Structures are given as structure tokens and as C-alpha cells.
Structure 1
Amino acid sequence: MSTKLEERQKQRQDEIITAARRCFRASGFHAASMSQIASEAKLSVGQIYRYFSNKDAIIEEMIRRIIDSRIEEMQGKTLVEGMPQALAWRQTLNEDDDALMLEMSAEATRNPQVATMLIEAESRMFANACAHLKKQFPHLSDEHIRCCVEITAVMIEGTIYRRLTPLKVPSEQLEPLYQDILNMLFSAK
């Protein structure tokens, strides 16, 4: 059972993360300062440093939460259930998380620590997706499962990026093609 102090610390961290998300969306990771985050959180910079050692620690916690949320969303669902529709219609679980992950990718090109965080987060997500798919498709080899996860990740991440531009082809035409791709990926090998 958590103490009141632990609950208060968790609440403060949540407030800081929420404020940081707003600042990062408005200014980008590189341009957002600790003083902006503090102002948005209605705290002093010193108070923020009690909970996070630096801006990279805030980014790391943000990445962890986004990945945890995506892994949790994956549980109890078949990975391919609804995917053709989601890809064709460019649906998303969380538009804000998608935008922040794109921003983190840009920051990773400038900041090796953020690049390392993203690599570790992606590895965790990849391993979880492989384990999840193996339960659904036990007849597929581990190598084939890894290939399926890689191709699926490319389709999902590409769709996230493509959401920034107008759709060039009707979703109704794309959906059966995505279904064909997924059927081919997960057929017996």
C-alpha cells in the first residue's frame, strides 16, 4: 500500500509530465526549457528537479509511459484485429502520443541519450509484440514472427507519418490491400 507521500510524489510527477507534454508539443523537445515546463506546471524549476534530474529524465519517463500504454492496449487483442481498417483510415490510439513520438525521433537525431531511450523503448515494444504474436500464431517460426512484427511496425509508423498529409487514395480501396498484406504475413510458414 502506498503512503500519502508516495501518492503525492506520483501526482507531482504526473503534473510535470502533463506540463512537459504541452511544452514539447508547442516548442519541440530541443526548444522547450525547464523554466517553461515549470511555468506550465505552476512549479519552480527547483521543484521539478526534485522529481526529475534533467529534461532527458522527463523525456525518458514520457517514452516509458507511452510504450507502457501501447503495450497495455495490445493485451487482450489480436494484433491484426482491426488493423487493415486502422491503417487504411489512418486511425490512431492516441494522436498526442504519436506526435510526441515523432518529436522524440527528431530529438534523437540531435541527442544521443534520447536516441538510446528510443532504441530501448522500441526493443521493449518489439519483444512484447513478438511474444504477443507468438501466442496468436504458434505455428509460425520465431524468425517469421520477428519479420511480421518488423513489417507491421513499418506499416504502423509509416501511417503515423503519412497522417500529416492528405490521403491520396480512398480508404475503401486501401483496406482490402492491407488485409491481403496481413493475410500473407500471417499465413502458415
Structure 2
Amino acid sequence: MQNEAREARHRIRQDEIIIAARRCFRQHGFHAASMSQLASEAQLSVGQIYRYFSSKDAIIEEIIRRIIGLRIQEMIGTSKSIQLPKLLAWRCVLNEDDEALMLEVAAEATRNPRVAQMMQEADERIFSQACAHVKQAYPHFSDERIRGCVEVLAVMVEGTSHRRLTPQKASAETLYPLYQQIHHLLFHSEDS
């Protein structure tokens, strides 16, 4: 019973640190944010943070793990493939904060090989889940076809995330039928 209570307090403190780290990383970026800034944001000492996370990279890794976990839950829990053209045309995202943090991850991955590895592992995790999800919906598709469809969707979704930083050059009303055509080509055409 005592161990369970200690573990619960440990998880609560980790959650508090992650919340503070998200705020700190959004304000300063992963690269520029120091552990002392993070400690100040969390209202803890740097030493207290190291009791819960071995390094700043460990905190980044946990943030990535949680974001990817939420994205996988969303993908599995709903049939977004039907709504994807609409989400892309109107540049909608599930969570603004997560999108901004993942852009920070991408920037940090260009400087930090460990973060680049984290990003590759996260991509592998979500890509394999997306392939399994598509396979369930389209069991007659070959594995290669499924990987191709998921890759195209990943490019569109991630590209849209980056494009959100600039004004949209075509109206959502114009883009929507184009995204619908792409979706139809990917999932309703028998030709490879």
C-alpha cells in the first residue's frame, strides 16, 4: 500500500514536471531551455527534477512518448481517414501545443543525435500503428501498398503542420475536393 502511494506521488510529480517543461520548451525551445529555467517553471530545484528524470533528453523523450501515444489513441479511437481531407483543407490539428512541441523536436533533432533517434523511434511507432489501422480497414491491400498510403498521408499531415506557420495560399473550399481526390486515389483505386 505504501509503495502504491509512493508510486502515485512519483507519477504526479513527473506529470507536474512534464507540464512545466512543456511550457518552458514552448517559450524557449528545447535547445535554449536550461534545466534551471525548467526547475523555476516547475517550482522545484534542479536536483529535485533529476530525481524524476535523468536528463533534459529524458524529459523530451517522455513528452514525445506522450504526444505519440495520444495520436495513436486518436487514430485508433476514431475513423479520421474519412475526415482527413477536411482536417487538411482547414489545417486543423488535434492539439496546438503538441504540434508546436513536435516542431521543436524536429528542430532539436537537427542538432542532437539522441533527439533524432527519439524522433525516428516515435515515427516507427506511429507508422506501424497507422499501417495496422489501414490493414484492418483495407485487408485486401498489400503490405507495400499500405506502407505507401501511410507514407503519403504522413507527408500530407506533417507538411500541413509546417504549412500552418504561413498564410494559406488557396482556400479550404478549393483544397477540400483536392484532398478528397487524393484520399480516393489512395484508398479506393485498385491500381498500385
TM-score when scaled to structure 2?
0.96
- CA apart distance, 1:80: 1.1
1:6 aligns with 2:7: yes
3-state SS, counterpart of residue 31 of structure 2: coil
Q: Which runs of 5+ in 1 are unaligned?
A: none
- CA apart distance, 1:3: 1.1
Specify the code of the residue in structure 2 equivalent to 1:16. Answer: I
**Percent identity between the two aligned chains:** 65
For 1:81 and 1:59, the matched residues in 2 are separated by 32
Q: Which runs of 5+ in 2 are unaligned?
A: none
For 2:34 and 2:150, the matched residues in 1 are separated by 36
Residue 74 of structure 1 is matched in structure 2 by 75
For 1:83 and 1:54, the matched residues in 2 are separated by 37
Specify the code of the residue in structure 2 equivalent to 1:72. Answer: Q
Residue 85 of structure 1 is matched in structure 2 by 86
Note if contact 1:84-1:175 (Cα within 8 Å) is conserved in structure 2. Answer: yes
For 1:77 and 1:93, the matched residues in 2 are separated by 12
1:37 aligns with 2:50: no
Deviations 1:47-86 (A, max 9, x none): 0000000000000000000000000011132241210100
Residue 138 of structure 2 is matched in structure 1 by 137
Judging by fraction of residues, say which structure has more helix. Answer: 2
Specify the code of the residue in structure 2 equivalent to 1:154. Answer: V
Matching of residues 1-189 of structure 1 within 5 Å:
3-187=4-188, 188-189=190-191
TM-score when scaled to structure 1?
0.97
For 1:140 and 1:146, the matched residues in 2 are separated by 10
Count residues in correspondence.
Answer: 189
